Structure 1
Amino acid sequence: MNAFRSRGRATAILAPLVAGATYARLLHLLVGWIFAGVVLMIYPGTYQRSLGSILTAAVSLDVVLLGLVALVPAARRAEGVQARLLLVPDREEDIGVEPSGTWADRRRTAAWLIGRVALGSAIGFATVFGLAPVFDLLTGPRGFWYLPLAPVPALGYGWLVVWAGRLQLAMAVRLLGPSPAERLAEAELRAERLLERNRLARELHDSIGHALTVTVLQAGAAREVGDPAFAAKALEVIEETGRQAMEDLERTLVLLRETPAGGAARNGAATEQPGIDQLPALFDTARAAGSPVEASIEVPAGVLPGVLSRESYRIVQEGVTNALKYAPGQLVDVQIAVREGQLELRCANRLVAAPSRGGPGRVGGSRKGGKGLRGIRERAALLGGEAMVGAGGDGGAEWVLDVRLPLRLGS
C-alpha cells in the first residue's frame, strides 16, 4: 500500500513536468519576455546607465507601447487565437477570439498584454539568472560533487514554469474571455434556442401524433368492416395523412438543421406553417376516421397574426387527436370565434367508458398527464392566454378543451 502511495505521489509531482501543455505555455511566456528584451535593447539600451534608470525607462516604454497596441481591435483577436493555441485551455470558448468591440474590451486587452509581458519577463529572468549559475556550477572543476543535487533546481524550475503557465491561463480566461454582457447575451441566445427546439418538438409531437392516431383508427376500421370500398377510402385517408405528416417532419428537420440563413429561403415550401385556414382539411380527416365533427369558425380574414393562426391550428389539432384517441366515433364539437379582443377556442366531445380490470368502466381515459395537453398549456401561456382542460359540459359528461388567447400578443 505504501509503495502504491509513493508511486502516486511521484506521478503527481512529475506528470505536469512532462506534459506538452507545460512547454507550450512556457513558449507563450517566453514570447512576452522576448518583446520586453527587444524594447530594452533598442531603448534605453544597456550601456552607461544605472540599472534602475534602464529598468524604469524600459518598463515605461513597454506599458505605453502595449497600451497603444490594445487600442487596435484586431489585437484582442490575435491574442485570443494565440492563447487558445499555446495555453491549452480546458474549453476553448473560455478565451474569446473576437475583436475589441468596446472600450472595456480595450482596457482588458491592455491589462492582459501588460500582465503577459510582466509574467513572461519574470520567467525569462528566472531562466537566465537562475539556471545559468547552476549550469556553471555543474560544469566547473568540482561539478562532479554537485551532480547529485542537479535534480533539485531542475525540479524547482519545472514547477515554477507549471505554476506560471497556470497563472497565465487564468489571466487569459479572466481578461480575454467574454465580458459579463457577452456571457449574458450568450445565455439568452441559448435560452432562445432551447425554447425554439421545445416549440419544434411540440410541433412534431402534435403532427405525428395526429397522423398515427388517424392511421391506426382507419386501419382498424378497414379490417373490421371488410368492405373493399371502405378499405379503399381508408387507404386514401391514410395516404393523405401520412403525406401531411411527412411534410411536417421535413419542415421541422429543416428548421432543426444548423444551415446558413439562405437554406430556409431555398426551402420555402418546406418551412411553410399550417394556419387556421387549413382546419377544414383537418376536420375532413377526422370525419374520415369515423368521428363526426361539427365546426363553427367565426374569425374574420386577416385578423389573426401568423403566429396566433399557427398555434391555434396546433391546439385544435391536438384537441381533435385526443378525441379520436380516447372517444372514437363520438361527435367532436369545435367552436372558434373572436370576442372582446381575444380568440376563443373550444373543442368538446362526449366521454366514453373505458374498460378497467375487475370493476366498472372508467370515464374518459387517462388524458391528464399527456404531453400533448401539457403542450397546449405551454402554447397558451407563451401567447399570454390560458387553457383549461377537463370534464365539463352537461353534468360533466363531456371532455372540454377551452383556450383563450389575446389577439395582441404580449398583452
Structure 2
Amino acid sequence: MLPRLLAPLVAGATYARLLHLLVGWIFAGVVLLVYPGTYQKSLGEILAGAVWLDTVLLALVALIPAARRAEGVQARLLLVPDREEDIAVEPSRTWADRRRTAGWLIGRVVLGSVIGFATVWGLTPAFNLLTGPHGLWYLPLAPALAIGYGWLVVWAGRLQLVMAARLLGPSPAERLAEAELRAERLLERNRLARELHDSIGHALTVTVLQAGAAREVGDPAFVAKALEVIEETGRQAMEDLERTLVLLRESPAGAAGGAATEQPGVDQLPVLFDTARAAGSQVEALVDLSEGKLPGVLSRESYRIVQEGVTNALKYAPGEPISIRIGVRGGQLELRCANAMSAGGGVAARNPAAGARKGGKGLRGIRERATLLGGEATAGASQDCSGEWVLHVRLPLRLGS
C-alpha cells in the first residue's frame, strides 16, 4: 500500500509537471507586481486587477498563431503525455484554434497559481514543524502535509495534461482530416497491392506455363517462341514494377504523369490476348466500344480486371479456350471472361486441381475495383451447366453515378 502511495510522488513526470505549473504562477506573479501592485490596496483589489490584466494579456497572446505551437512544444516536454500526438504542435489556423489557445493559457495560469500558493502555504508549515520548537507529537504532521501537497501536485499535473489534450490537441475538424488522410493512404496502399498482384501474378503465371510447355514439347522453334514470350512478359512486369515503385517513392517525376507512371488501358488488351495465346490457350475476344473512348480510370481498371480474369484462366485451366466479351449495354460497361473448367484430354483434365478456384486475392481485388467504381462483380461456375467458369463485371460509364 505504501509503495503505491509514494510511487507517484517520486516519479520524474510529477516534478516536470510541477515545473510547468509553476511557470504559470510565475507569469501571474510578474503581472501582479507590475499592475496593479500591492501598495495600499486590499486583497480583493489586488486579485481583481491581476485577474483582469492576466485575462487580457493571455487573450492577446493567443491571437499569435505561433503561441499555440510554442505551448504545444512546452506541454509535450513537461507534461509527459503517453502519446505526444494527443498534443498538437501546429500553429493556430482558425479562430476556434485561437479561442482554445486562450482557454488553455488562462486555465494554465489559474491552475499554476493555485499550486504556487499551495507550495508556499503547504510546505512552509511542514518545514516549521520539523525545525520549530514544537513537541515530538507534532513531527508526524510534517510528512502528512508533504504527502498531501505531493498528491495535490500529482492530480494538478494530471488535470493539466487533460486540459492540454482537450485545448491544444487536434480539433474535431483536424481529427477528421487526419482520419480521411489515413483512409486515403490505406486505399492507395491497397490499390498498389492490387496493381502488383495483378501484373506480377499474370507475368509469373505466363512464365511458368511457357517454361513448362517448352520443357515438355522440346521443339526448338517452340522453345524459341516460349523464350520470346517469357522475355516480353518479364519486360512488361518490370515496367509495371517500376511504375509502382515510382508511386511508392512519391517521386515528383511520377507525380508529373511521366511515362514511368503511365498505366495500360483497354487499348493494350490485344497484347494481353496475344500473351495468353502464346501460353497455349485459344482466346476469342470481342471488344465493342463503339460509343467512344472510355474515361482514363475506367480504361485502366478494366484492363486490370480482364488481366486478372485471363490470369485466373491460365492458372486454373491452362490450355483451355478463353472467351472475352467487352461492350456497353444500358449505360454500363460489361466485362465477361469465361473459360472451360475442364475438358476431355485437355490440360485441366490432366490436372484436377487446375479447375478449383479458391476466391483468393485476385477475385477479391476485382470486386474491390468494381465497388470503388460503383459497379459490381460476380464470379463462379456458370448456371447453364456449360461447364464454364464465368467472371462478369458491370461498371457505370459515368463514375460516381
1:164 aligns with 2:156: yes
4+ residue runs of structure 1 moved beyond 6 angstroms? 360-364
Which deviations, in whole Å up to 9, do the C-alpha atoms of 1:130-168 show, x marking residues without a partner?
212322332334487755554322222221111111000
Structure 1 residues 11 and 301, CA gap change in structure 2 (3 angstroms): farther
State the one-letter code of the partner of 2:181: L
Specify which of 370, 392, 397 is matched with residue 380 of structure 1: 370
Asked whether the equivalents of residues 393 and 400 of structure 1 are also in contact (C-alpha less than 8 Å), the reply is no
Q: CA deviation at 1:368?
A: 5.0
- Give the match for residue 391 of structure 2: 401
CA distance in 2, matches of 1:58, 1:25: 24
Structure 1 residues 149 and 292, CA gap change in structure 2 (3 angstroms): same
Unaligned 5+ segments in structure 1 are 1-8
1:22 aligns with 2:19: no
Worse-matched range after superposition: 317-326 or 302-311: 302-311
Asked whether the equivalents of residues 21 and 108 of structure 2 are also in contact (C-alpha less than 8 Å), the reply is yes
CA distance in 1, matches of 2:139, 2:226: 93
1:327 aligns with 2:317: yes
Q: CA deviation at 1:354?
A: 10
Worse-matched range after superposition: 105-114 or 131-140: 131-140
Which deviations, in whole Å up to 9, do the C-alpha atoms of 1:192-220 show, x marking residues without a partner?
22122212211111112111111111111
- Give the match for residue 49 of structure 1: 41
- Give the match for residue 298 of structure 2: 308
Which deviations, in whole Å up to 9, do the C-alpha atoms of 1:16-41 show, x marking residues without a partner?
22222111111110110011000000
- Give the match for residue 192 of structure 1: 184
Specify which of 217, 230, 234 is matched with residue 238 of structure 1: 230
Asked whether the equivalents of residues 331 and 396 of structure 2 are also in contact (C-alpha less than 8 Å), the reply is yes
Structure 1 residues 254 and 13, CA gap change in structure 2 (3 angstroms): farther
Asked whether the equivalents of residues 337 and 392 of structure 2 are also in contact (C-alpha less than 8 Å), the reply is yes
Q: CA deviation at 1:248?
A: 1.8
Specify which of 119, 123, 138 is matched with residue 115 of structure 2: 123
Which deviations, in whole Å up to 9, do the C-alpha atoms of 1:260-295 show, x marking residues without a partner?
x62534783332212111111111111111112122
1:62 aligns with 2:50: no
Which deviations, in whole Å up to 9, do the C-alpha atoms of 1:327-364 show, x marking residues without a partner?
11111111222344322212111220699xxxx99797
Structure 1 residues 253 and 361, CA gap change in structure 2 (3 angstroms): closer
Specify which of 254, 259, 269 is matched with residue 279 of structure 1: 269
State the one-letter code of the partner of 1:401: L
Asked whether the equivalents of residues 381 and 387 of structure 2 are also in contact (C-alpha less than 8 Å), the reply is yes
The aligned runs of 1:73-92 (5 Å cut-off) are 73-92=65-84
Specify which of 97, 106, 128 is matched with residue 98 of structure 2: 106
Asked whether the equivalents of residues 316 and 353 of structure 2 are also in contact (C-alpha less than 8 Å), the reply is no
State the one-letter code of the partner of 2:19: L
Specify which of 328, 333, 347 is matched with residue 337 of structure 2: 347
Unaligned 5+ segments in structure 2 are none
State the one-letter code of the partner of 1:107: R
Worse-matched range after superposition: 308-317 or 380-389: 380-389
- Give the match for residue 218 of structure 2: 226
Which deviations, in whole Å up to 9, do the C-alpha atoms of 1:351-403 show, x marking residues without a partner?
20699xxxx99797222522211221221121112222222386432222222
Asked whether the equivalents of residues 13 and 80 of structure 2 are also in contact (C-alpha less than 8 Å), the reply is yes
Structure 1 residues 399 and 124, CA gap change in structure 2 (3 angstroms): same
- Give the match for residue 168 of structure 2: 176
- Give the match for residue 338 of structure 1: 328
CA distance in 2, matches of 1:351, 1:294: 16
CA distance in 2, matches of 1:363, 1:349: 15
Structure 1 residues 301 and 254, CA gap change in structure 2 (3 angstroms): farther
Q: TM-score of the superposition, structure 1-length normalised?
A: 0.89
Worse-matched range after superposition: 168-177 or 338-347: 338-347
Asked whether the equivalents of residues 364 and 399 of structure 1 are also in contact (C-alpha less than 8 Å), the reply is no
Specify which of 262, 285, 290 is matched with residue 295 of structure 1: 285
Structure 1 residues 54 and 283, CA gap change in structure 2 (3 angstroms): same
CA distance in 1, matches of 2:332, 2:46: 79
Asked whether the equivalents of residues 36 and 49 of structure 2 are also in contact (C-alpha less than 8 Å), the reply is yes
Q: CA deviation at 1:175?
A: 0.9
Asked whether the equivalents of residues 354 and 362 of structure 1 are also in contact (C-alpha less than 8 Å), the reply is no
Local SS of the residue matching 1:40: helix
Q: CA deviation at 1:224?
A: 0.8
- The share of aligned pairs that are identical, in percent, is 81
1:367 aligns with 2:357: yes
Local SS of the residue matching 1:396: coil
- Give the match for residue 6 of structure 1: none
- Give the match for residue 5 of structure 1: none
